[in-house]
Structure 1
Amino acid sequence: MRVGVIGAHASRGWARAVHLPALLSLPDYEITAVAGTSRESARQAADVWGAKHAFADPQELISHPDVDLVTISVQLPRRDGLVEAAISAGKHVYSEWPLARSAEAAERLHALAEQAGVRHAVGLQSRHHPAIGYLRDLVADGKVGEVMSASLTYSLSSPEVWSVRYADLFDHTKGVNHLAVVGGHSMDMFGSAVGHFTEISATLATRIPRITLQETGEQITVTSPDQIAAVGLLESGAAASVHIMTGGPRGEGFLIEVHGRAGRLVLDSADDSLVGPEFTLSFSGGTGGTVVLPVPDRYVPMPSDAPPAVRNVRQVYRNLAAGIPTEPDFLTAVRTHRLIDAIKRSATTGERQHLG
């Protein structure tokens, strides 16, 4: 499958760190085209990654006959129309997360992709983390018995001085704030392991009201939340809670707890990384102590020496090449966007929200 990567760069960026190394390691793929912010930067990226074609205009990449799959690795505010254009051109498409600014917009993209018969994937690849997969199977196989409750807490540091290129993070209208990005990734991991919310109540708060732009010293007002707290019920009927907290000194990272009639599973991380945390999974039964559960080798895709984020993205590409209708696809994105929209509605109205 011949791939064109929008957002490619020779020395920096998410595509350079994750997508391009993942593609380069897969024999089912050939990197044939790249698009960057200028023809010069695209040409440099093409030289590094061995692409035949380099474009400053992503629309040229999308329409090129040598491209079968379009990878869109640019931030949502700079992505207007690209997913639609790829679908209209009959190309398979792998879009970074968030897919859209709302569930309604994500539903429209999913419908377009299905109608066009193209394969589609979204950048919620952390559900392929080996420890998440192992936790999912342990819960499903009854390791803790009937699940009574589950919780996710995610604490990460956040500076109050940021580069201007991250300014969109603090504008709630841009769709790339902590709720969408941090919340979307972490809640998708949580839901894939323990089941999805069917109803939820939420509170949002902004505790850091202003941040400073590093390059100019300008202070801007923060309109997006940095504290996200939600409680509700899962598909199984189990009670569940989510608390995502950002700001202040270094956080403790992920902590997922699953409480069942027969025991408790705890998944925690040694750092607050969002893109590739190292997890420890442990189990405690009713009478025994706590036992660390190493992740079996069968959950770790080969080769295993790549960084976790590269391994996770590589698995998404493997599924795309095989035509396997496996999440995360645009329907995964729709579900996660619906949850985010429900959290926003609940925080605004004070009313409990029901999810289909």
Structure 2
Amino acid sequence: MAPIRVGLIGLSGQPREKRDGISWAEIAHLQYFRSTAEYQIRALLNSSVESARAAIQRHELAVNTKAYGDPNAFANDDEIDLIVCCVRVDKHFQTVKPSIVAGKAVYVEWPLERSIHVAKEMCALVALHNAKAIVGLQASFSPVIRKIKQIIDSGTIGRLLSSSVVGSLGHGGATEPKPTSFFLDRETGGNLMSIHGAHALEYIIAALGDFTTFKGACAIRRPFKDIVDPRNGNQVLEKAVRNTVPDHLLIHGTVLPSQAVVAIIFTGGDGIPGLPILDWRIQGEYGWLRLTSSSMALNVGSPDTKLELYDASGKAREIAPDEDQWSKLPLPAQNIARLYEAYRKKDWYPDFDYAIKRHELIETMWRDFDQAEGKNR
């Protein structure tokens, strides 16, 4: 079968030491594309043709890789099958809209866009033009998440009773790095609630089941933050910038089919030194599961993530997740690879309709927050 021809949006041409932050397109998507013959990068779209050419040269892509600076010209390229969008969330729709209208398949990173209203517009456009659409919610493909679900479904710990998830967001502390300073602006759409919170909800739901009741109690505990430069010893660039996004998230509800109660607490900042950043406990009638990790981003993964099974006697044993051929890739690329493979093999993958369900959860959190604050939006 011929390879799927990819047009990639947002692959930076700047050297790492000269740009702010990380390039998700580089550390995740590109790593997978380099490892497989099933997909081929045929074109790049950046803010300009020159920027796209710089990225082609820096990453040593094939000499016939096309460089675009215009989303409309990009969409009209008949040698592209799948458009992959890895730019900032508030630029997603404007860069992929022409491709959706052209009927091309699109992969858009999570969140789909800055608000549920724009996300629904994207979803409707996909349906109108009969386009295939993938959203970058890859947590359900994580081997450790699948192992948790497998153990629960097998009845090993009996009927699911409850679960608690306590984690530290990493961001949301006293300062904000310049590359993610947009996290402080609710209107941008990319922030602790929509990114960190939603990816966490995705892996919790993948393991435990969909929420039947869902309530958020989120708060802005640091209304002003200094913006710092992480490349220059966290030198303060701007002082007391207003933060309009909750930096502490508390969520509770019940999940299907067990009706188990779930309590989630994510605090801003780095957490307590020496303790796990993430501590997830799952109680069954006959035992417990406990997952600990130095990162709450299980959608990406961490080498020290540990899953333990406690039987009815209290005896614990560590459970190793199943490995596959993608386990040898760098961590950011592994679950992305599994998502691409699901799409290629025509297995289940999260599409835009699925993404709207997650947007609705985030919208519920915002609505609960606004009501608590006495706001009417």
The normalised TM-score by structure 1 is: 0.90
Q: 1:195 to 1:67 in 2, by over 3 A?
A: same
Corresponding residue of 2:277: 253
Unaligned 5+ segments in structure 2 are 17-22, 230-236, 373-377
Write the letter of the residue equivalent to 1:302.
Q
* Cα distance in 1 between the residues matched to 2:91 and 2:116: 18
Matched, 1:322 2:322: no
Corresponding residue of 2:264: 242
Moved more, 221-230 or 268-277: 268-277
Corresponding residue of 1:226: 247
* Cα distance in 2 between the residues matched to 1:239 and 1:311: 31
Moved more, 249-258 or 143-152: 249-258
Q: How many correspondences in the alignment?
A: 347
Partner SS state of residue 168, structure 2: strand
* Cα distance in 1 between the residues matched to 2:129 and 2:345: 18
Which runs of 4 or more aligned residues in structure 1 lie more than 4 Å from their structure 2 counterparts after TM superposition?
A: 248-251
Partner SS state of residue 335, structure 2: helix
* Cα distance in 2 between the residues matched to 1:66 and 1:195: 40
Unaligned 5+ segments in structure 1 are 351-356
Q: 1:143 to 1:49 in 2, by over 3 A?
A: farther
Write the letter of the residue equivalent to 1:23.
F
Matched, 1:264 2:295: no
Partner SS state of residue 205, structure 1: coil
Matched, 1:53 2:66: yes
Counterpart selection for 1:168 from 157, 164, 182: 182
Counterpart selection for 2:7 from 4, 7, 10: 4
Partner SS state of residue 340, structure 2: helix
Counterpart selection for 2:100 from 79, 87, 93: 87
State how 1:1-356 maps to structure 2 within 5 Å.
1-10=4-13, 11-12=15-16, 13-47=23-57, 48-50=60-62, 52-158=65-171, 159-214=173-228, 216-236=237-257, 237-248=259-270, 252-272=276-296, 275-278=300-303, 279-296=305-322, 300-324=323-347, 326-349=348-371
The normalised TM-score by structure 2 is: 0.85
CA RMSD of aligned residues (A): 2.2
Q: 1:273 to 1:35 in 2, by over 3 A?
A: same
Identity %: 27
Q: 1:87 to 1:302 in 2, by over 3 A?
A: same
* Cα distance in 2 between the residues matched to 1:217 and 1:247: 19
Moved more, 107-116 or 165-174: 107-116
Partner SS state of residue 229, structure 1: strand
* Cα distance in 1 between the residues matched to 2:349 and 2:166: 23
Query: How far apart are residue 272 of structure 1 and its match?
Result: 4.9
Write the letter of the residue equivalent to 1:245.
T
